[in-house]
Amino acid sequence: MRPRVESRQETRLRLLIVRAGLPEPETNVYLPLRYQRRRVRGDLVYLRYRVLVEYDGEQHRTDDVQFARDVDRLDGVMAEDWRVIRVLKETPDAEVLSRLDQALRSRGWRPGSRPE
């Protein structure tokens, strides 16, 4: 695993994205948000396109406090015009890639374009 990667599933997801020909996201970076009370860090982040991919492991569903924090945090992110893609272990890879491709294209990414 790379530095700043917090789970094997995040690594698996990042590799899936890159192998599919989509741009590589930054991992576990803070989002530049203006109106949030606290700093927000995302799992897989496309700063240029304002797209966030979040992998929700078991603790996100079984811990009510964690679940409530996640809802509040992601509502704040979306309120600042970020596209958020939430991924569960049950989410089919093809669905993840399709949703991410659509989100990136809607924000100006085109296949073959080089990251800045």
Q: What is the pLDDT of residue 112?
A: 82
* Separation between Cα atoms, residue 43 and residue 116, nearest integer Å: 20
pTM: 0.87
CB-hemisphere CA count at 13 Å for 66?
Answer: 8
| Domains and their CATH numbers in the chain | 8-106 (3.40.960.10)
Contact indicator for 52, 42 with CB cutoff of 8 Å? yes
Closest CA relative to residue 84, chosen from 35, 33, 19: 33
Q: What is the pLDDT of residue 36?
A: 74
Residue range 58-112, pLDDT digits in tens: 665 677 888 888 888 999 999 999 999 999 999 999 999 999 999 999 999 999 8
